[in-house]
Structure formats: structure tokens, C-alpha cells
Amino acid sequence: MSHFAKVEDGIVVSVIVADQEFVDALEGTWIQTSYNTHGNVHLGQDDEPDGGIALRKNFAGLGHTYNSTADGFHSPEPFPSWSLNSTTFFWEPPVEKPDNTKDGFYEWDEDATDWVFIGTGG
């Protein structure tokens, strides 16, 4: 059994677990996806890269986009200023996020196009 995403107009509207033969009989466009693929890397049971073959950049989720040209899934754009990394298919901010574990916690401020300190959490 494998995971398959139903894609309508480039957007994932459903994800199921099924055999290929079952999916072949369904209406619509169904594309195989793998929950072991994250950032265009195949991960093992320990969530570490295991050398396996990454499938379509990322595991498909509801509302994700399927880019047929790049043959990959990515999440919705979080902010207009962020750009999509063409290798990992992760959205990246224009400014690197400060280290939460060292300095405290930050959140993205789109108006300032920068990270804003929100506290130490303690």
C-alpha cells in the first residue's frame, strides 16, 4: 500500500492509502506521495536520512500545491515575501530566523519583513 494525493487544479484535495490498482480505477488525478520524504530527502524510521529515494520533494498534505514541472509537493505560501527553495520545496524567509533555543522566541512580521522577538518562554 502507498499514499496517493488527489490533485485538482494543482491543489491537493485528498490523501489516501491504497494499492495502485485501486487508484488506477478512480476518477481524477492521483499522484503517489511518500510520508518518508521531507525536503527532498528520504528519511528512515529515526527521522534521519537513510539514503532512500525521495519521492516528489515532500509528503502531500491537504491544501498543498503540486508542481507538475518540478514533480513536487509544497505547502501553501506562508507570506508574500518568502520564496520557495527549488531543491527542498520549503518556503524560506528573506531573513534567517534567530536561534530560538539561544535567544528566545521569534515570529515573522510580514510588514517589517523580519523576525520579531516575542519572549523567552520562561
Q: How far apart are CA 99 and CA 36, in angstroms?
A: 26
Three-state DSSP at 52 gives: coil
Q: Are 17 and 35 in contact (CB under 8 A)?
A: no
Q: Supply the pLDDT for residue 120.
A: 81
The residues pairing with 5 across neighbouring beta strands, listed in sequence order, are 15, 31
Establish how many alpha carbons lie within 13 A of residue 110's alpha carbon, considering only the half-sphere containing its beta carbon. 6
- b/e per residue 40-74 (b: at least 16 CB within 10 A): bbebeeeeeeeeeebbbbbbbeeebbbeeeeebbb
Cβ atoms of 35 and 59 within 8 Å: the answer is yes
At residue 119, the pLDDT reads 86
pTM: 0.89
Question: Looking at residue 26, what is its pLDDT?
Answer: 98
Give 14-64 pLDDT, tens digit per residue.
Answer: 999 999 999 999 999 999 999 999 999 999 999 999 999 999 999 999 999
Give the mean pLDDT of 57-80.
98
Q: What is the pLDDT of residue 104?
A: 81
**Beta carbons of 103 and 117 less than 8 angstroms apart:** yes
Torsions phi, psi of 39, nearest 5? 65, 30
Residue 101's pLDDT is 66
pLDDT tens digits, residue range 90-122? 999 999 998 776 678 899 999 999 999 988 866
